[in-house]
Amino acid sequence: MPQITQLADVFASQLFWLAVVFGLIFFGIGRGMLPRVRSAVDQRDRRVAEDLEQAKAARTTAEETEARWRTRMDEARVEAARIAQEAKGASARETEARVRDALAEIDSKVELARLRIRDAVAAARTELEAVAAEGAQQVVQQLTGISVDRQEAAKAVQSELEMMTPVER
C-alpha cells in the first residue's frame, strides 16, 4: 500500500501542499468569496421581502379604492334610478295632462258641432213647418174650401211632425 510505505517520504510534501491549498480555499474562497455570495443572497431576500411588503400595501390601497369606487357606483346607480323614476313619472303626468286637454278640446268641439247640428235641425224644421203649414192650408182650402187659420195649420203640422220624428232635446 503506497499510502503507508510512502508515508514517511511524502508526508511533509503532502502536508505542505494541503496546507497551501486548504488555506487558500478557507481564506480565499471560504472567507473571501463566500460572504459576498451570502450577502448577495441576503440582499435579494431583503429586497424580495420589501417588494412583497410594498405589493401588499399596494393591494390594500387598491382594495380600499375599489371599495370606495363601488360605494360611489352604488350611490350613483341609486341616484340614477331615482332620477329615471322621477322623469318617467313627470313625463307620464305630462302626457296624461296633454291627453286630458286634448280630450276636453275634442269634447268641446263635439259639443259645439252638436249644437250647430241642433240649430241647423231646428232651423230646418221651422222652415219645413212654415212651408208645410202653408202647403197644408192651401191643400185644405182647395180640397174642402175651408179656410184654415194659419196658426191652426201650423199647430197641426207641428204635432204631426212631432209624431214622426221625436225631437231630441
Partner 1 sequence: MTAEGKIDPMHQFTIEPIAPLHVGGYDISFTQSAAWMLFALALIFTFMALGLRRELVPGRWQMAVEGLTGFIDDMVKVNIGPEGRKFVPYIFALFTFILVSNLAGLLPLAVIPGLHPFTTTSQFSITGVLAVLSFSIVVIVGFWRHGLHFFSLFVPHGTPAVMIPLIAPIEVISFMVRPFSLGLRLFVAMIAGHILMEVFGSFIVSGFHGGAMGLGVAILSFLFIVFVVALELLMCVIQAYVFALLTTLYLSDAINLH
Pick the closer one to partner 1 by CB: 22 or 69.
Answer: 22
Assess 28 for contact with partner 1 (CB under 8 A). yes
Q: Which three cell numbers stand for residue 91?
A: 313625463
Task: Give the binding range for partner 1 (CB under 8 A) out of 32-40, 93-101, 131-139, 143-151.
Answer: 32-40
Nearest residue (CB) to partner 1, 24 versus 97: 24
- d(CA 148, CA 7) in angstroms, rounded, equals 182
Q: Which is nearer to partner 1, 42 or 96 (CB)?
A: 42
- In angstroms, give the least distance from the CB of 58 to partner 1: 20
Phi and psi based region of residue 148 (left: phi greater than 0; alpha: psi -120 to 50; beta: remaining)? beta
Which one of the spans 40-48, 63-71, 78-86, 108-116 is the region binding partner 1 (CB under 8 A)? 40-48
Instruction: Name which position in 38, 59, 70, 116 contacts partner 1 (CB under 8 A).
Output: 38
- Segment interacting with partner 1 (CB under 8 A) among 9-17, 63-71, 129-137, 155-163: 9-17
CB 55 to partner 1: min, Å: 16
Rule CB under 8 A: which residues touch partner 1? 1-4, 6-7, 9-18, 20-22, 24-26, 28-31, 33-34, 36-41, 43-44, 47
